[in-house]
Every structure is written in C-alpha cells, then in structure tokens.
Homo-oligomer: A and B are copies of this chain.
Amino acid sequence: MELSVFYAPDILPDSQTYTMNEDTSKYCIQVLRHETGDQVGLADGKGHKFTATITDDNRKRCMVSITAMETIPAVSPSRSIAIAFTKNAGRIEWFLEKATEIGIETIIPLVSHRSEKDKIKPERLNSILVSAMLQSQQFYLPVLEAPQSFEHIIKTNKTAQRFIAHCLPEQKQSLVEAIKPGEDAIILIGPEGDFTAAEIQMALQAGYIPVTLGNTRLRTETAGMVAVTLMASTLNK
C-alpha cells in the first residue's frame, strides 16, 4: 500500500524527529486513523521525501521519528506562468490545482490593463497548492509569487524562452512548434478581454514570442492549463 504523505513545511533535511501541526495531526490521526507505530511519509515541498514512524498519535501534536530521507531531483528545465487572475475565484483555484498536478515551478498573478483582479489570498491558495502537490505525489511546492504588473514582468523577467499567448489575429506560431526542449520557459496568459495591443507590442519588443494555444477560444484558466500541459510535454523530452 502507498504511504500517506503529509506536508511538513518546517522540517529540516537532517531532522531526527518531527511534530505535525494541529491540522495535519488531526487529519493523520482522526481522519486517516493512523496510530503509534504506523509508517508515514513527509514532504517539505523543497524536494525532500521523509519516511517516518509515528511515536505519539496525539491528535493535536502527532510526533514521528524519521527513519529515512531522500532528495528528489528538481524538474529541469523550469516552467513558469504569469496569468491574469479571474474575477471568479473558483476558476483560478481550479487552475492552481491542475497546474500543480501537471507540474509547474512558478506561478505569477499578472496584473494587466484589463485584469479583473489584483488581490489574492495567499494562504488559501497555498493550501490548494499543497493538497495538489501531495495528491499528485510530487515533492516540490510551486512558488506562488505576489501579483506583478505586466510592465514589471516584461522589464525584469530574464527567463531563456519567453512566450505571450494572445488572441489578436496576428502572426503567431503554436506554442508546441515555438518551444525549444531543454531551456527554461515562461508564458504570459491574459485576462478574459485579452492583452491590449500596446501590451502585446511591449512584449514583442522585449523578445517575447507570440504564440497560440490551439484553434479554439479558451477561457483564461483553460488557456493557463493548456499552456502548462504543453510546456510539461515538450520541455523535458
């Protein structure tokens, strides 16, 4: 049977013992009904996978003794996405869950001219990332950055391959054709009303490659998910 893996954000790579926080203890002991002596897994979200034995099945402060630690190699090249957050919080939360499952390193909430939302709830969103990381059996937690303006991203981001997906009827390649395996990549996904022509111009001047994600008109969160899927399937060939 597969080991239940719990999130342990403050464990150190050389820790010998660890005490789960109250929420995790409750989930481990009350919900999953683990007991002293059971073997469990722990993930710090930074690439370390721990195997441990429960030494005290306290439902508020579950204690474990670490028996093994393994370092999981990071995915390379790195994949980043800067995406306009939708007014409907459910849609962007869904995107965060799916992007994490499929595999993404960095997510930047993008504030552009037509963005509908420029505030986020980092705690709630991070808990979605943690659940999706554990669910999909990964050991690196995606980084959810603070919201950044379009202009700031264009001026400061130096990722090797930079893409912008937009809907204007201009010359564009498909992302799959444009992307080169083996190099770090970032893609910008605009709000429901798309990027403005001025924003697209600014990105092109900064070396961004304009791309399309297919032949249909996609919602913002769908475009984000398609971009993450295509980056995952092409970058690590």
When C-beta atoms are compared, the residue in chain B nearest to A230 turns out to be: B233
Chain B neighbourhood of A176, CB < 8 A: 233-234
Q: A136-B216, A138-B216 are in contact. Are A226 and B102 (CB under 8 A)?
A: yes
Contact with B along A217-237 (1 / 0, CB 8 A): 111001001100110111010
* A178 CB → nearest B CB, Å: 12
Chain B neighbourhood of A230, CB < 8 A: 229, 233
Are A137 and B216 neighbours in the complex by a CB distance under 8 Å? yes
Q: How far is the CA of A44 from the CA of B102 in the complex (A)?
A: 35
* A225 CB → nearest B CB, Å: 7
Are B101 and A222 neighbours in the complex by a CB distance under 8 Å? yes
Are A174 and B219 neighbours in the complex by a CB distance under 8 Å? no
Protomer copies: 2
A135 near B: Cβ within 8 Å? yes
Q: Within A41-94, which residues are at the interface with B (CB < 8 Å)?
A: 75, 94
Q: A102-B226, A233-B176 are in contact. Are A217 and B137 (CB under 8 A)?
A: yes
- B94, B216, B219, B232: which contacts A214 (Cβ < 8 A)? B232
A162 near B: Cβ within 8 Å? no
* A159 CB → nearest B CB, Å: 21
A103 near B: Cβ within 8 Å? yes
Chain B neighbourhood of A138, CB < 8 A: 216
* A148 CB → nearest B CB, Å: 26
Query: What are 16 A-B contacts with C-beta separation under 8 Å?
Result: A101-B216, A101-B218, A101-B219, A102-B214, A102-B218, A102-B222, A103-B214, A174-B233, A176-B233, A214-B232, A214-B233, A215-B232, A215-B236, A225-B229, A226-B229, A230-B233
> Which 8 A-B pairs have CB atoms at the shortest separation, nearest pair first?
A136-B216, A137-B217, A229-B229, A136-B217, A101-B222, A176-B233, A226-B229, A103-B216
Chain A interface residues (CB < 8 Å from chain B): 75, 94, 98, 101-103, 135-138, 174, 176, 214-219, 222, 225-226, 229-230, 232-234, 236
